[in-house]
């Protein structure tokens, strides 16, 4: 982080954030969902530097990632712990591929790019399938047989019929 004269750009507070965790990136995730990324600070405490981020909807997950439509912007300020910072988007995401783009602060000694991408996150529209009805117990099957009329049609119970029978046996 220093040059030959052991000096550094004083606009940078020597904080050094690196992606540690994020929304699942294997396969796809269902929307609606909160997309998030967590960054570990491996440098000095973040005091004056501004680490800004954008959430992009990108065309594909091929690397290097390319800018897409910016969905949301912000600054990394939310501390999850002493050295962990979290960013998240609470917007309802439409199906597509998303990635966070984090900009390194002014003065950060970046040899390559002045930003870093998260891993791409694929969001799909998921529809819940109804679960199969649980199998009937032997008692339920027996009750149904007792309630069938002579013609084989189920007998409709009147509302409160069971309550009246219960009251009769209690007396």
| pLDDT tens, residue by residue, 130-154 | 566 555 555 555 555 555 555 555 5
**What is the pTM (predicted TM-score) of this model?**
0.67
Q: Is 122 in contact with 27 (CB distance < 8 Å)?
A: yes
The pLDDT tens digits for 41-69 are 999 999 999 999 999 999 999 999 999 99
Query: CA-CA distance, 28 to 106, in Å (whole number)?
Result: 35
Q: Which two tokens stand for residue 150?
A: 């002579």
Q: Is 51 in contact with 102 (CB distance < 8 Å)?
A: yes
Task: Classify strands 69-75 and 115-117 as parallel, antiparallel or unpaired.
Answer: unpaired
| Per-residue pLDDT, 163 | 47
| Per-residue pLDDT, 92 | 80
Helix (H, G, I), strand (E, B) or coil at 141: helix
């Amino acid at each position: 982080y220093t040059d030959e004269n052991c000096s550094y750009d004083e606009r940078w507070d020597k904080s050094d954030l690196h992606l540690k965790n994020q929304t699942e990136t294997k396969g796809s995730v269902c929307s609606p969902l909160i997309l998030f990324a967590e960054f570990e600070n491996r440098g000095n405490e973040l005091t004056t530097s501004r680490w800004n981020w954008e959430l992009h909807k990108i065309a594909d997950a091929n690397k290097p990632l390319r800018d897409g439509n910016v969905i949301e912007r912000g600054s990394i300020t939310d501390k999850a712990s002493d050295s962990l910072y979290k960013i998240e988007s609470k917007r309802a995401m439409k199906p597509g591929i998303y990635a966070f783009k984090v900009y390194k602060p002014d003065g950060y000694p970046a040899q390559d790019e002045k930003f870093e991408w998260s891993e791409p996150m694929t969001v799909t529209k998921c529809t819940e399938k109804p679960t199969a009805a649980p199998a009937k117990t032997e008692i339920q099957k027996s009750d149904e047989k007792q309630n069938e009329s002579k013609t084989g049609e189920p007998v409709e119970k009147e509302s409160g019929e069971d309550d009246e029978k219960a009251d009769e046996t209690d007396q």
